[in-house]
Amino acid sequence: MKNIVCFGEILWDVFPNHKKIGGAPLNVAIRLQSLDNNVAVISSRGKDTKGEKIIEFIKEQGVVVDHIQIDEKLKTGKVKVMLNQKGSASYDIKFPRAWDNIQLTKGAQEITKHADAFIYGSLIARDDTSRETLYALLKLAPYKIFDVNLREPYYTKEVLNYLMNAADFIKFNDDEIFEIAKFFGNSPRSLEQTIKFIAQETNTQSICVTKGRHGAILYYKGQLFYNSGYQVEVVDTVGAGDSFLASLINQLLKGASPQYAIDFACAVGAIVASREGANPEIKKQDIDRFVNS
């Protein structure tokens, strides 16, 4: 069992016909908790009913809420989610919200210092206060995992560069890594060459790139590991990448082989994509069925 801290946005995903509690760091936290870890979230919510319901939900999942602040002025986060015919999502992210104003506290500093892993994304750095808090915590965290989530217009080359260089492990999707590589003057190359380019530019030796239904590539300690994906009927892709990352990190932190870790993570991601919502319950036998197929 590992002690893990997830830093970033907590919010409501509002779909055309329903709404769900989410936010990439929270989705990662919930999946990690379900995999027998001690997980805490550092974030902020509004002083409103929506924020109270999020806290109730997180407590029910067993995730520590002690470091989720209450903002007196800003509302709880909200994202309008639009799904195309293939279940792929696009987002209208409301700004500003409480999670844009996460303050640096002694409690957040202490829990970060003693974590086995500190997980953060790029969206949380869209505004000054939460970004500066993140930068301060990155100086304290022993092992840092950067979950890239490019959401226009909320990122810049300078901030991405800082966040990548601070990380020990970076997770991209294939569109994101090619876009960021162009920022740094990389001409079009194969995915493997692009991964190694980013590893060299950022001095990061562990990188994973997801490829949707085509699986993922893991670059770990100088070696490449592949999974070509598991075929499922997609319901919606919201949270699939978050559960993938949580499952991958869980396996690697606990000493699994890199190949088993990426197979396990792809299986979890596929199962999530085949079900409604970001955090469906998944049984071990469901995962084993994919991995052993």
Higher pLDDT, 290 or 248: 248
Distances (CA, A) of 19 to 11, 78, 205: 10, 10, 38
Q: How many angstroms separate the CA atoms of 149 and 120, rounded? A: 10
Q: pTM surpassing 0.85? A: yes
What pLDDT is recorded for position 180?
Answer: 95
Q: What is the pLDDT of residues 26-48, one digit of tens each?
A: 999 999 999 999 999 999 999 99
Q: According to the per-residue pLDDT averaged within each range, which of 8-17, 82-91, 162-171 is highest?
A: 162-171
Task: Choose between 138 and 235: higher pLDDT.
Answer: 138
| Cα separation, 49 vs 12, whole angstroms | 12
pLDDT for 238 equals 74
Residues 97-132: tens digit of each pLDDT: 999 999 999 999 999 999 999 999 999 999 999 999
Report pLDDT for 84: 80
Topology of domain 3-291, CATH: UDP-N-acetylmuramoyl-L-alanine:D-glutamate ligase (3.40.1190)
Quick one: average pLDDT of 46-52? 98
**pLDDT value at 9 more than 90:** yes
Q: For the chain, what percent of residues have pLDDT higher than 70?
A: 98
For β-strands 77-83 and 11-14, DSSP reports them as: parallel
Domain map of the chain by residue range? 3-291
pLDDT, position 135: 98
For all residues of the chain together, what is the average pLDDT? 93
Render pLDDT for 73-92 as a digit per residue (tens, 0 to 9): 999 999 998 878 766 777 89
pLDDT tens digits, 173-189: 999 999 999 988 888 78
